[in-house]
C-alpha cells in the first residue's frame, strides 16, 4: 500500500466526471487499498477517486467512531433518499474549510464491491451525508457548490 497525493480545490481533475470501473483486478485492489490508507492517514471519513487523481467511479469511506468499518463503493449510484439534514461539511480537497450544506437524512446506494458483486448500502445521518458528498466528487461537484443559500465557507474554531 502507498499514500496517494490528495488533490486540492484548484486542481482541474476535481471538476471532471469519473468513468465507470470495468476491470476488477489487482490494479483496482491496489487503488482501493491506497485510497483507504490515504483517507485514514489524513483523518478523513471518505475519499473518491478524483481526489487522488484517478478518474474512476471509486469511493472509500469509514464514518465509524473506531475507524474499523471501511466501505468500498465501485460504480455507486444513489437509489433512494428521504428527509433532510443541515450541517457543516469539510473535505480533504478543501483543507481547513467548512460549509453548511443540506443533504438527505437517509440514503440508499447501489454499488459494486471490489469483486464486482452488486450490493445495497443504507446510511442515516453522517453516513448519508458522506455517501452524497463522495458521490458528488465522482461527478466533479464539490460541497462548496451546494452551500446553503446565504452561507459561505469558513474556518472552524478549535471547539468545532
Active site residues: 134
Q: What are phi and psi of 74, to 5 degrees?
A: -120, 130
Q: Please state, in angstroms and rounded to a whole number, the distance separating the CA atoms of residues 143 and 133.
A: 7
Q: Please state, in angstroms and rounded to a whole number, the distance separating the CA atoms of residues 13 and 122.
A: 29
Which residue matches cell numbers 448519508? Answer: 128
**Residues 144/152, Cβ–Cβ less than 8 Å:** no
Amino acid at each position: 500500500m502507498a499514500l496517494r497525493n490528495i488533490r486540492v480545490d484548484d486542481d482541474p481533475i476535481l471538476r471532471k466526471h469519473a468513468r465507470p470501473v470495468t476491470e476488477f483486478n489487482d490494479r483496482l485492489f491496489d487503488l482501493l487499498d491506497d485510497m483507504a490508507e490515504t483517507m485514514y492517514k489524513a483523518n478523513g471519513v471518505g475519499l473518491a477517486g478524483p481526489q487522488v487523481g484517478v478518474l474512476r467511479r471509486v469511493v472509500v469511506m469509514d464514518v465509524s467512531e473506531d475507524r474499523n468499518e471501511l466501505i468500498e463503493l465501485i460504480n455507486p449510484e444513489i437509489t433512494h433518499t428521504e428527509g433532510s439534514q443541515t450541517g457543516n461539511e469539510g473535505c480533504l480537497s478543501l483543507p481547513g474549510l467548512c460549509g453548511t450544506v443540506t443533504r438527505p437524512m437517509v440514503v440508499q446506494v447501489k454499488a459494486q464491491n471490489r469483486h464486482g458483486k452488486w450490493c445495497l448500502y443504507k446510511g442515516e445521518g453522517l453516513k448519508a451525508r458522506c455517501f452524497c458528498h463522495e458521490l458528488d466528487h465522482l461527478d466533479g461537484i464539490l460541497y462548496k457548490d451546494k452551500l446553503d443559500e446565504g452561507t459561505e465557507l469558513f474556518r472552524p474554531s478549535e471547539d468545532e
